[in-house]
Amino acid sequence: MVKITFFVGKEDFLTMVENDELLEYALVYGDYKGIPKQQIRDYMAKGYDIMLRVDIQGASTLRKILLDFVVFVFLVAESESELVMRLIDRKTESKESLMMMEAIIDAEKAKVVQRRVMV
């Protein structure tokens, strides 16, 4: 499995949005995130299956674009408190980000339950 992540500045990201270079994009927990179309095309041309790690918002957008050509799997922690502890233990999120994430967790879980894709 190949994992590719790259970072661009906000201005470059917004230019990619303007030029329609992203399959999907969103402002997530205060950061811009997106999936470059060319990256997906390159791997599909090589015959690879593609696995994307996206949040509920990204999955919803991709479902509209890709219709029945994809399978969605949503992984969840054992409990909300377990998820929060994992995020705290990672020490990668600011207190503000953690508070924002906690506020969004319940809304995302409700959307997942409606779609019956929770694992």
Partners of 27 in beta bridges: 32
Contacts of 87 (CB under 8 A, 6+ apart): 93, 98, 101
Encode pLDDT of 72-113 as tens digits.
777 777 777 787 788 788 888 787 777 777 767 766 666 664
Residue 26 is given by DSSP the state: E
Q: What domains are there in the chain, each with its CATH number?
A: 1-52 (3.30.63.10), 73-119 (no CATH)
Mean pLDDT in residue range 45-67: 84
Q: Which amino acid is at 8?
A: V
Amino acid 109: pLDDT: 65
Pairwise CA distance, residues 76 & 78, whole Å: 7
Encode pLDDT of 28-43 as tens digits.
777 888 999 998 889 8
pTM score > 0.75 for this model?
Answer: no
Pairwise CA distance, residues 9 & 70, whole Å: 30
